[in-house]
C-alpha cells in the first residue's frame, strides 16, 4: 500500500503546498495553511464508476413540472425559480446565529407529508425538537438524525429514502476515508462531492448548510461553489430582525431575486411588503431623514436613510456609516463641498440606513445627499418625498436602472412626490405622484430648501 502523504492546504482557497507557508500565493491570505493527511485510497468521487450514459437529443429530452418540488415557504420557492429541482445540491451559507438552522428546520416542517431527513451535526435530537416546537408547520414525516459521519448519513438516507435531505452543517460532516479533521478543506470538498453524487443518483434535493468565514466568504474553498447547483447567502445584521436570502449562483433560476424574512419569537416570517417595515411615517418629520426608492435584485422597496451632521469636536472630522459604503459617503460629501459650497470638511457626519440592512444600489445617493443637507441645515425634508438617483463627481444627478419600478413603488406607498434625475426619458406620471426632475446638486438644494 502506498504511504500516507502530508500536504499543507490553504483553508481559504484550497491551494496546496508540500511545506507550510505563511502567505498563500494563490489567494494572498495569511496564516491559512493547515496540515492535512492524504490517504491514497481510491477517491470516493471518481466519475469513472458512474453508470454509462448515451448522448441524447435536446429536443428528445422530456422535463415536467414535477421535476420541481415546492416547499411550503413561498419566498424560498420564488428564489429557487419555482421550487427545488429534483437532484439539485443547494448550499446555504451565512454567519453564525443568522438563522440558517431555523430556516432549514422550518423548511423541513413546511414540506408537509413529504419525508425529510434533517441531519444535524451540531445539535442533538432533543435540541432540534425544542427548536421545532417554536416553529410553525408540522410534518410527521420529518426525521432528525444527529450524526457527523458521512458514510452513516448516506446509509440512513438510503434506508429512509427521503424527498429532501438537509445537512446542518457541511463543516461538521467527515468521511472516514480521509484522515483530516471535520471542517478541513479536503473533508468539506469530499463530503460535498459525495452529497452531489447522492443527489444526482437518487434525484433527492440536498440542502447543505455552510458557515461563513470572517471575511464573508463560505468557509472552505471556492471549489464548493463550483460543485453545487445553487448557492444561497443568508445575510443580515444579528442585532436586527431582518434577514435577506440572496442567491449568489443558481443553475435553475435567476440570481436577481431576493427573499426577505423577519426573525420573530416563533421562527422566520416571510416579508411580502418590505417597504412597510423599512420606513416610519407615523411620527413628525425630523431633519436628516429622507426616503430612498431602492431596488435589490428585482424587488423595489422604500428605505429610510438617516444622517447626523454636527460640528467636529476634534481636528479630524469623523465620518461613519452603517449599511452604506463609507468611501462613497466621503465622495458625496466632497461633491457637496465642491459643487454646492457646503462647508462639510469641518463637520462630523454620521449616516445610517434603517433596519440594519446593507445597500449597494447607487440610486440611494440622492437620498443620502438630501439627508446630509437636511441635517446640516436642520430643515426636514418631509415624509412625502422619495428619492432615486445617482450623484456623479461633477454634481450631476445621473439616471438609474429600473426607474419605473421605483416610481410605481413610491406611488403604491402613497408618496406625494419623487425626485429623480432629469436625464430620464419617457417617464410616465403616476396617479397622485408628482415627479420632480433634477439635473444638478444645486437644483436639488433649491427644490428642497428654498
101 belongs to the binding site for Mg ion (CB under 5 A): yes
Among 266, 320, 394, 434, binds ligand TYD (CB under 6 A): 266
Please, what is the minimum distance in Å from the beta carbon of residue 427 to ligand TYD? 42
Closest CA relative to residue 9, chosen from 29, 32, 41, 40: 32
Please, what is the minimum distance in Å from the beta carbon of residue 261 to ligand TYD? 11
Cα-to-chain-centroid distance, residue 291: 23
275 belongs to the binding site for Mg ion (CB under 5 A): no
- Residues in contact with Mg ion, total (CB under 5 A)? 1
Please, what is the minimum distance in Å from the beta carbon of residue 104 to ligand TYD? 8
Closer CB to Mg ion, 101 or 306, in the complex: 101
Burial class (CB in 10 A: 0-12, 13-18, 19+), 371: buried
Give, in degrees to the nearest 5, the angle at Cα 110 between 62 and 199. Answer: 40
249 binds, among ligand TYD, Mg ion, none (CB under 5 to 8 A by kind): none
Burial class (CB in 10 A: 0-12, 13-18, 19+), 130: exposed
Considering only residues 47 through 106, tell me which ones interact with ligand TYD, judged by CB under 6 A: 94, 96-102
Q: In 3-state terms, what secondary structure has residue 427?
A: coil
Residue with cell 437636511: 374
Closer CB to ligand TYD, 83 or 99, in the complex: 99
Dist. CA 376–CA 350, nearest whole Å = 11
Dist. CA 294–CA 102, nearest whole Å = 28
Among 131, 197, 281, 412, binds ligand TYD (CB under 6 A): 131
β-bridge pairing 289-296 and 385-388: parallel
Closer CB to ligand TYD, 245 or 307, in the complex: 245
Cell numbers that stand for 36 in this block? 492535512
Dist. CA 260–CA 312, nearest whole Å = 38
Cell numbers that stand for 32 in this block? 491559512
134 belongs to the binding site for ligand TYD (CB under 6 A): yes
Interface region with ligand TYD, contact rule CB under 6 A, candidates 33-41, 58-66, 262-270, 417-425: 262-270
106 belongs to the binding site for Mg ion (CB under 5 A): no
Please, what is the minimum distance in Å from the beta carbon of residue 210 to ligand TYD? 10
Q: Are 302 and 292 in contact (CB under 8 A)?
A: yes
Closer CB to ligand TYD, 264 or 334, in the complex: 264
- Residues in contact with ligand TYD, total (CB under 6 A)? 14
Please, what is the minimum distance in Å from the beta carbon of residue 107 to Mg ion? 13
- What stretch of H or E contains 109? helix 100-110
Please, what is the minimum distance in Å from the beta carbon of residue 296 to Mg ion? 25
Please, what is the minimum distance in Å from the beta carbon of residue 131 to Mg ion? 10
Please, what is the minimum distance in Å from the beta carbon of residue 91 to ligand TYD? 14
Q: In 3-state terms, what secondary structure has residue 369?
A: helix
SS (H, E, C) 375-400: HHHCCCCCCCEEEECEECCCCEEECC
Interface region with Mg ion, contact rule CB under 5 A, candidates 13-21, 96-104, 244-252, 366-374: 96-104
233 belongs to the binding site for Mg ion (CB under 5 A): no
Beta bridge partners of residue 116, listed in sequence order: 142, 164
C-alpha dihedral over 212, 217, 222, 228, to 10 degrees? Answer: 60
Closer CB to Mg ion, 264 or 334, in the complex: 264
Closer CB to ligand TYD, 15 or 104, in the complex: 104
263 binds, among Mg ion, ligand TYD, none (CB under 5 to 8 A by kind): ligand TYD
Closer CB to Mg ion, 210 or 288, in the complex: 210
In whole angstroms, how large is the CA radius of gyration of the chain? Answer: 26
Note the residues at the interface with Mg ion (CB under 5 A).
101
Chain positions contacting ligand TYD, by CB under 6 A: 94, 96-102, 131, 134, 263, 265-267
Amino acid at each position: 500500500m502506498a504511504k500516507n502523504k502530508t500536504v499543507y492546504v490553504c483553508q481559504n482557497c484550497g491551494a496546496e503546498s508540500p511545506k507550510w507557508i505563511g502567505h498563500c500565493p494563490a489567494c494572498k491570505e495569511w496564516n491559512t495553511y493547515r496540515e492535512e493527511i492524504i490517504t491514497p485510497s481510491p477517491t470516493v468521487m471518481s466519475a469513472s464508476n458512474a453508470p454509462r450514459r448515451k448522448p441524447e437529443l435536446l429536443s428528445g429530452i422530456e422535463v415536467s413540472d414535477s421535476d420541481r418540488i415546492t416547499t411550503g415557504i413561498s419566498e424560498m420557492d420564488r428564489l429557487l425559480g419555482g421550487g427545488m429541482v429534483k437532484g439539485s445540491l443547494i448550499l446555504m451559507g451565512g454567519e453564525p446565529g443568522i438563522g440558517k438552522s431555523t430556516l432549514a428546520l422550518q423548511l423541513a416542517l413546511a414540506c408537509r407529508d413529504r419525508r425529510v431527513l434533517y441531519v444535524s451535526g451540531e445539535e442533538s435530537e432533543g435540541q432540534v425538537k425544542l427548536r421545532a416546537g417554536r416553529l410553525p408547520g408540522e410534518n410527521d414525516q420529518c426525521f432528525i438524525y444527529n450524526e457527523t459521519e458521512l458514510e452513516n448519513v448516506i446509509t440512513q438516507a438510503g434506508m429512509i429514502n427521503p424527498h429532501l435531505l438537509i445537512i446542518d452543517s457541511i463543516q461538521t460532516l467527515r468521511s472516514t476515508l480521509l484522515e483530516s479533521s471535520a471542517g478541513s478543506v479536503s473533508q468539506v470538498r469530499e463530503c460535498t462531492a459525495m452529497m452531489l453524487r447522492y443527489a444526482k443518483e437518487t434525484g433527492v434535493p440536498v440542502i447543505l448548510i455552510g458557515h461563513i468565514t470572517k471575511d464573508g466568504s463560505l468557509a472552505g474553498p471556492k471549489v464548493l461553489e463550483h460543485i453545487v447547483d445553487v448557492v444561497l447567502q443568508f445575510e443580515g445584521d444579528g442585532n436586527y430582525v431582518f434577514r435577506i436570502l440572496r442567491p449568489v449562483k443558481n443553475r435553475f433560476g435567476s440570481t436577481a431575486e431576493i427573499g426577505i424574512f423577519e426573525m420573530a419569537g416563533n421562527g422566520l416570517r416571510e416579508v411580502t411588503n418590505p417597504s412597510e417595515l423599512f420606513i416610519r411615517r407615523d411620527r413628525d418629520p425630523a431633519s436628516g431623514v429622507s426616503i430612498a426608492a431602492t431596488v435589490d435584485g428585482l424587488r423595489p422597496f422604500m428605505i429610510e436613510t438617516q444622517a447626523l451632521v454636527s460640528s467636529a469636536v476634534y481636528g479630524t472630522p469623523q465620518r461613519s456609516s452603517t449599511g452604506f459604503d463609507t468611501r462613497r459617503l466621503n465622495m458625496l460629501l466632497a461633491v457637496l463641498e465642491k459643487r454646492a459650497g457646503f462647508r462639510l470638511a469641518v463637520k462630523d457626519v454620521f449616516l445610517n440606513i434603517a433596519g440594519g440592512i446593507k445597500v449597494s444600489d447607487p440610486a440611494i445617493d440622492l437620498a443620502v445627499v438630501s439627508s446630509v443637507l437636511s441635517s446640516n441645515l436642520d430643515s426636514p425634508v418631509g415624509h412625502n418625498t422619495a428619492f432615486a438617483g445617482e450623484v456623479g463627481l461633477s454634481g450631476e444627478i445621473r439616471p438609474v436602472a429600473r426607474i419605473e419600478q421605483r416610481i410605481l413603488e413610491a406611488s403604491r406607498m402613497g408618496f406625494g412626490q419623487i425626485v429623480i434625475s432629469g436625464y430620464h426619458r419617457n417617464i410616465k406620471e403616476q396617479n397622485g405622484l408628482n415627479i420632480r426632475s433634477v439635473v444638478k446638486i444645486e437644483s436639488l438644494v433649491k427644490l428642497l430648501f428654498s
